[in-house]
Structure 1
Amino acid sequence: MKKDFYLTRYALIIKKLEATPSTYSQIEEYLLNSFEFQDAGIKSYSMRTLQRDIREISDLFSLSIHNKKRRDNRYYIESRPIMEVDGYNQKLLESFQISNALNVYPDFADFIFFESRKATGIENFYDLFFAIRNKRILLFEHYNFKNKKMTSRKVHPLALKESKDRWYLIAVDTKDKLLKSFGLDRINYLTVGSQNFREKYEYNLRDHFKNAFGVMNLVEQNPQKIVLQCSRHQGEYIRSFPLHQSQKEIKETQEHIYFEFFLHPTYDFMQEILSYGKEAKVLEPETLIQQIKNNLSESLKAYTDQ
Structure 2
Amino acid sequence: MGRKIEGLQRMLIIINRLKGMQRYVPREELERYVTLRMEERDGTAVNIRTLQRDINEIEELFGIRIHFDKKQGGYYIDEEDELKQEQYNRLLLNFDLLNALDSTSNLHTYVLAEHHRPANNECLPQLLKAIKFSHPISFTYVYVREGGITREKRVHPHYLKEDQQRWYLLAYDNGELKTFNVAYIRNLRTLGGETFKRNMNIPINELFKDCYGIWNQLSIPVEDIELSYDALDGSFLKSVPLHHSQEIIIDTKEEFRIRLRLRITNDFVMALLSRSRSLTVVKPLHLRERVRMIYEEALTRNL
Q: Which bin holds the TM-score, normalised by the shorter protein? A: 0.5 to 0.7
**Tell me, what secondary structure is at the counterpart of 1:211?**
coil
Matches within 5 A, 1:137-286: 137-146=136-145, 147-174=147-174, 178-193=176-191, 194-197=193-196, 204-286=203-285
TM-score under structure 1 normalisation? 0.55
Q: Offset of 1:274 from its aligned partner?
A: 0.9
Q: Offset of 1:288 from its aligned partner?
A: 2.7
Q: Which runs of 5+ in 2 are unaligned?
A: 5-57, 65-79, 90-115
CA contact (8 A) 1:180 1:218 kept: no
Equivalents in 2 of 1:230, 1:279: separation in Å? Answer: 5
Equivalents in 2 of 1:203, 1:212: separation in Å? Answer: 17
Equivalents in 2 of 1:115, 1:234: separation in Å? Answer: 31
**Tell me, what secondary structure is at the counterpart of 1:167?**
strand
Q: Offset of 1:103 from its aligned partner?
A: 4.2
Equivalents in 1 of 2:155, 2:287: separation in Å? Answer: 32
CA contact (8 A) 1:142 1:150 kept: yes
What amino acid is aligned across from residue 196 of structure 1 in structure 2?
T
Q: Which runs of 5+ in 1 are unaligned?
A: 5-99
What amino acid is aligned across from residue 256 of structure 1 in structure 2?
E
Distance 1:202 1:288, change over 3 A: farther
Deviations 1:50-88 (A, max 9, x none): xxxxxxxxxxxxxxxxxxxxxxxxxxxxxxxxxxxxxxx
Equivalents in 2 of 1:112, 1:188: separation in Å? Answer: 26
CA contact (8 A) 1:139 1:155 kept: yes
- What is the number of equivalent residue pairs in this alignment? 203
RMSD after superposition: 3.5
**Tell me, what secondary structure is at the counterpart of 1:234?**
helix
Equivalents in 2 of 1:196, 1:256: separation in Å? Answer: 56
Distance 1:144 1:119, change over 3 A: farther
TM-score under structure 2 normalisation? 0.56
CA contact (8 A) 1:179 1:219 kept: no
**Tell me, what secondary structure is at the counterpart of 1:227?**
strand
Distance 1:225 1:115, change over 3 A: farther
Distance 1:261 1:108, change over 3 A: farther
Equivalents in 1 of 2:120, 2:254: separation in Å? Answer: 44
Q: Offset of 1:187 from its aligned partner?
A: 0.8
**Tell me, what secondary structure is at the counterpart of 2:271?**
helix
CA contact (8 A) 1:156 1:173 kept: yes
Alignment partner, residue 130 of structure 2: 131
Q: Offset of 1:158 from its aligned partner?
A: 2.8
